[in-house]
């Protein structure tokens, strides 16, 4: 399943997103624009850099600054792409504006949507123990412009690393727990090519053609949280009349801003738990002939891991964590002294799993 999904996503990236001339085997045809060279082993990163908009793609040692306008310049200069996307140039305005072909842009954005759905499943299934869907869509590929949120995609040791500090128990404990997920090198290569070569062109195309001015650092943009009135009475006021008229003027000024927030900045729209579940089921049914949701995959992964584990200590740990089985030779004396079973101690109190031995 992972191999078939990878081959499809890679072919779609080269042909439909980066607009390269590829053959049936997925290789770029000789004599056409080649794919820029990339070596994951040579990528360096600075995780402590907190500058706005920073990512490893902007690290000077990586020398990827020329990637930003690579695809946009090709669309302007290559006859095949220029004829496909550009209707003409309006020189009556200063600066001159590009007249885009609406149908070509709409078809391109549909391919972006399909590719990002495949990429989501590829990252989710190849990044080790599966995260929840809400964890993946909380990851940003660069530091946000507001200076509050920071990126969760890093380059380390020749691999691409996804990190998140969101987890199921955070709302209760308020304790940050960083989760690391390293994807396969092939998947990391697709991610770097998309972010470095395709993402900037997609943003430019949205701004120049669709008038989208809001920028987001989310790779898969999560659904905005609902806003609730703290008073609980909406816009109603006992005095009616004048107070309502004063507020209506302020509300009309902010309507455009609210509409912008309701629209996704990414062409693939917002992501939520329902969509992650649907996308997982669609892609797995194609390549596995069985529809797996995010929840189903979270159950299947430890079972596969347990079946293929060669180290008995690993198998024993999986049995204890996932199946509540007691380790062989483990004494229950400490648990009995506290007046409960070993299972209650590990599962409810979690002393041995959560507290440091130091």
Q: What does the pLDDT look like over 288-340, one tens digit per residue? A: 889 998 888 888 888 888 888 888 888 888 887 777 776 665 566 766 777 77
| β strands within 67-222, DSSP E | 86-90, 97-100, 153-156, 159-164, 179-182
Q: Are residues 19 and 44 in the same domain?
A: yes
> What is the C-alpha separation between 190 and 278, in angstroms, rounded?
23
Within-domain flag for 182: yes
> What is the C-alpha separation between 123 and 129, in angstroms, rounded?
11
Q: Are residues 109 and 52 in the same domain?
A: yes
- Whether residue 193 contacts residue 182, with contact meaning beta carbons closer than 8 Å, is answered with no
Which residues, including other chains, have CB under 8 Å from residue 211's CB and lie 6 or more apart? none
Which residues, including other chains, have CB under 8 Å from residue 135's CB and lie 6 or more apart? 164, 166, 167, 179
Measured from the Cβ of residue 115, the count of other Cβ atoms closer than 10 Å reads 20
Q: Average pLDDT in the 328-353 region?
A: 64
What tokens does 6 get? 């990878």
Within-domain flag for 348: yes
Q: Which domain holds residue 340?
A: 309-354
Indicate yes or no: pTM above 0.85: no
Q: Are residues 78 and 149 in the same domain?
A: yes
Q: Does residue 235 have a pLDDT over 50?
A: no
Within-domain flag for 235: no
Q: What's residue 196's pLDDT?
A: 95
Q: Are residues 114 and 26 in the same domain?
A: yes
Within-domain flag for 159: yes
pLDDT tens figures, 64-97: 988 999 999 999 999 999 999 999 888 777 788 8
What backbone phi and psi angles, to 5 degrees, belong to 256?
-65, -40
Helix (H) or strand (E) holding 245: helix 241-262
pLDDT tens figures, 241-300: 444 444 454 454 445 444 545 688 899 999 988 999 999 999 999 988 899 988 888 888
- With tokens 């996307």, the residue in question is 85
Number of structural domains, the chain? 2
Q: Are residues 263 and 348 in the same domain?
A: no
What tokens does 174 get? 């308020």
Closest by CA to 136, choosing from 265, 294, 290, 304, is 294
- With tokens 């209506």, the residue in question is 248
Q: Are residues 84 and 182 in the same domain?
A: yes
* Radius of gyration from C-alpha coordinates of the chain: 25
Measured from the Cβ of residue 227, the count of other Cβ atoms closer than 10 Å reads 8
Q: Are residues 141 and 54 in the same domain?
A: yes
What tokens does 287 get? 């390549």
Within-domain flag for 277: yes
Within-domain flag for 303: no
Q: Are residues 47 and 105 in the same domain?
A: yes
Q: Are residues 73 and 214 in the same domain?
A: yes
Within-domain flag for 130: yes
Measured from the Cβ of residue 205, the count of other Cβ atoms closer than 10 Å reads 22
Q: Are residues 280 and 344 in the same domain?
A: no
What tokens does 276 get? 């992650």
């Amino acid at each position: 399943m992972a191999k078939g999904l990878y081959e499809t996503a890679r072919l779609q990236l080269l042909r439909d997103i980066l607009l390269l001339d590829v053959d049936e085997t997925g290789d770029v045809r000789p004599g056409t624009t080649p794919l820029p060279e990339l070596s994951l082993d040579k990528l360096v990163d600075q995780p402590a850099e907190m500058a706005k908009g920073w990512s490893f793609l902007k690290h000077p040692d990586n020398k990827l600054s020329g990637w930003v306008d690579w695809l946009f310049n090709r669309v302007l200069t290559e006859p095949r792409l220029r004829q496909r996307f550009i209707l003409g140039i309006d020189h009556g305005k200063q600066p001159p504006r590009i007249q885009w072909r609406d149908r070509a842009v709409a078809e391109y954005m549909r391919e972006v949507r399909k590719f990002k759905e495949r990429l989501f499943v590829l990252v989710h299934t190849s990044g080790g123990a599966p995260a929840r869907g809400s964890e993946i869509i909380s990851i940003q590929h660069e530091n946000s412009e507001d200076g509050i949120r920071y990126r969760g995609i890093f380059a380390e040791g020749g691999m691409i690393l996804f990190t998140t500090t969101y987890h199921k128990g955070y709302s209760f404990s308020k304790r940050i727990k960083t989760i690391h997920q390293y994807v396969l090198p092939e998947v990391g290569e697709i991610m770097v090519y998309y972010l470095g070569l395709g993402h900037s062109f997609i943003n430019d195309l949205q701004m120049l053609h669709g008038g989208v001015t809001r920028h987001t650092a989310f790779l898969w943009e999560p659904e905005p949280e609902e806003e609730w009135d703290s008073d609980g009475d909406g816009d109603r006021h006992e005095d009616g009349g004048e107070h309502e008229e004063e507020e209506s003027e302020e509300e009309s000024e902010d309507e455009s801003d609210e509409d912008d927030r309701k629209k996704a900045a990414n062409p693939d729209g917002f992501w939520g738990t329902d969509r992650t579940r649907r996308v997982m089921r669609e892609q797995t049914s194609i390549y596995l002939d069985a529809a797996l949701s995010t929840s189903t995959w979270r159950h299947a992964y430890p079972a596969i891991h347990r079946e293929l584990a060669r180290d008995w200590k690993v198998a024993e740990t999986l049995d204890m964590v996932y199946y509540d089985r007691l380790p062989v030779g483990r004494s229950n004396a400490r648990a009995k002294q506290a007046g409960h079973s070993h299972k209650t101690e590990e599962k409810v109190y979690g002393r041995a799993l959560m507290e440091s031995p130091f």
